[in-house]
Chain A
């Protein structure tokens, strides 16, 4: 779908900060509020804006139980449907937070979230590797998140500028 420069600009602004009011966005790009809201609604209707989310550093929350694993999955694609059918079978599991088709040594990169390593191990051995098309899996557990979707966790980058300068 071909978008106008204004529409692309709204996407760039929202991608960085979804909390900005439509009034502020309107001022930033020189439109009025109604026009801006109309464009945003159109982008949502077209599923170009898929949804809005909040990035949370769960590691800071005491007793929060959560483990993330990235799994390299080799599969046998099926005639006619390629990788899509097996990708669908995988992403329908609610434990799966992302599925990407990759170039290189394996086919699908699957991110799985669970309460414990055990839970994920169980998911991989019972649900994922038993799928017909899955040839092999390699599971990598995440130990710590430093940066995610462009945001640095625990950034110590403060505004060090002096308050008034020429």
Chain B
């Protein structure tokens, strides 16, 4: 008898399934769930952006674009990156439009990793980082950031994790799931070590637009860093365009060319209507981004203040749309807390342990929901804790 499972590659067999999946399955069939488990904006993409995609279809723009994406879009991205984040990239040689930031991370990993290369991953982090490093044949070396440091990577920790095999540091700010934003000073401390050890940085800055107290500093804007940074961003979070699957990566020419080789074989190009939508988003969507950011900021203030009030300690996250409170006071593990909360009060959150080291003892609460939903969720969490 054929053992079908044996057809599956060992690397994939050994891959841990996303812990988020379990909660999705649990919550998906329940009625009346208030969800703080969603990692995407509750805003619908601006109408002008949707309209631009419709128009592109009406005009019959349904063929492939250049592998790296529409040049017009890359030009806009270059302007946007320069104006917003003070980093200058050549749209012809250094920018690739990808299928979401996720694909950008994937091609970046595959473009740089030799078998056995070590990639330092800062946890808690987005669930795909470690699997993507491993799929590319690398070894993920994880660093656990601590709540007492507001989940910021400490330069000493980085120093200790570096070995002769270290190739790159993968870092995300503002962070999913902690919301932690690294300031220019924080980044400088990290960059000094990166430069000293001649490492590369893969910077996932998909939440760059969603920074609430101080403006986002791109790691590539720090002196000496652009030449050793693969900068990843996209339209999903800031422009509320998750389902369009449109991201981009910016990197020095040699690395960008390597990424493009993989991209052209594996993907050909990103979806054409989505690229026209993104073009419109950059040309006219900034006002909507500002308005959404304003709303997120108020909701962040509300949820953090409320969580602290009901006894779940929570640092103030500088960006993204997640609060990452400690649930240690309840004596439950993250998974127990999340599962019981869902069953007893019908509130969906994501247990912190699915985001790797340092996540245990915390839950991720997304505040990309209406104030009405947030107030209801807080009420139910309060009931749950008091019981």
Contact = CB atoms under 8 A, between A and B. Distances in A.
Interface of A: 9, 12-13, 17, 20, 24, 27-30, 157, 159, 161-166
B298 A163 contact: no
A164 B35 CA distance: 7
Interface in B324-354: 348, 350
B114 interface: no
Contacts of B302: 24, 27-28
B287 to A, nearest CB: 15
Contacts of B176: 166
B301 A166 contact: no
Contacts of B375: 24
Interface in B18-35: 18, 20, 23-24, 27-28, 33, 35
Contacts of A27: 301-302, 305-306
B37 A163 contact: yes
A163 B371 contact: no
Contacts of A164: 20, 23-24, 27-28, 35, 37-38, 348, 350
Interface in B294-319: 294, 298-299, 301-302, 305-306
Pick the 6 closest A-B CB pairs, nearest first.
A164-B37, A28-B298, A27-B305, A164-B24, A163-B27, A27-B302
B128 interface: yes
A166 B298 contact: no
A166 B128 contact: yes
Contacts of B301: 27-30
B42 A161 contact: yes
B138 to A, nearest CB: 21
Given A28-B298, A157-B44, A162 B371 contact: no
Nearest to A21: B375
A163 B35 contact: yes
Interface of B: 18, 20, 23-24, 27-28, 33, 35, 37-40, 42, 44, 126-128, 176, 294, 298-299, 301-302, 305-306, 348, 350, 371, 375
A72 B103 CA distance: 57
A165 B24 contact: yes
By CB atoms of chain B within 10 A, which of A159, A161, A166 has the most? A166
Contacts of B18: 166
A99 B80 CA distance: 44
Given A24-B371, A164-B24, A166-B127, A159 B42 contact: yes
B27 A13 contact: no
A12 B37 CA distance: 27
Nearest to A19: B372
Nearest to B24: A164
Contacts of A17: 371
A162 B298 contact: no
B290 to A, nearest CB: 12
11 contacts: A28-B301, A29-B301, A161-B38, A161-B42, A163-B35, A164-B37, A164-B38, A164-B348, A165-B20, A165-B40, A166-B18
A36 to B, nearest CB: 12
A130 B1 CA distance: 96
A30 B304 CA distance: 10
